[in-house]
Amino acid sequence: MTQNNRIRKIWIYLLGIIGVPILMSIVFVILQSTIGEDIISDGLALAVINLMTYLIPFIFYIKLFGREILEDRKQAKFVSVIKYLTIFILATFVYRFVESFFQTIPVSGNQETVNEVVGFNILIGITVTCIMGPFVEEIVYRYMIQDWLDSKIKNKLIVIFISAAIFALIHMNELDIWIFGEYFVSGLVLTILYHRKHSIYTNILVHGMFNIVQMILSLLLVV
């Protein structure tokens, strides 16, 4: 698939990820006004909106890139997955440890949404956060955007920082430099991994496994 075709898919995804939540929100508001019950605050609307936001591009990208990803699986090394998962976890821990000296570690809007969806239905939470989310995001941020930046910018260090910054900005629900920093660190790890291994399958695995670790820790803290 050519780079131009990949870029077209980015715009399709961006329109989808913006349009689907808006459409689903309108549907739930209409339903709520029709039946006279608060179906939004109980977590149902949030869960369905998050599910559909990722389900549509997930199916779309499986169809478009499924064969390429399966072929890429042959390049994935278990050692690399464990190595970068460990780096990912340690980098996040160190960042939050440093942050704790300056303020109480905030919960990002993105993480609050994840927690609410998991609280409403853990199966939907796991599906969105640990399977569909990592798959769709790695396709967009690495397979599409990072590859496109690589084709336009010779300095790979600049590519890595721009790609990580885009990842952080998209995940921010509010203006907070510390939350930006946390997602920027995550973006750096995933961007460097893709730069070094150029294996989208490896990136999806590392991203998904990291989200699983985070979810387990969040559930343990709640308990």
DSSP string, 10-75: HHHHHHHHHHHHHHHHHHHHHHHHHH-S--STTSHHHHHHHHHHHHHHHHHHHHHHHHHHHHHGGG
For residue 101, the one-letter residue type is F
Most distant pair of Cα atoms in the chain: their distance: 58
Distance CA 158, CA 88 (A): 20
The answer for residues whose C-beta is within 8 angstroms of residue 107's C-beta and 6 or more apart is 115
pLDDT per residue of the chain (223 residues) written in tens, 0 to 9: 555 665 666 666 566 555 655 665 566 566 556 655 555 555 666 677 777 778 878 888 888 888 888 888 888 888 999 999 999 999 999 998 888 888 776 666 566 667 666 777 788 888 888 999 999 899 989 988 898 899 899 999 999 999 999 999 888 767 778 889 999 999 999 999 999 999 999 999 999 999 999 888 877 765 4
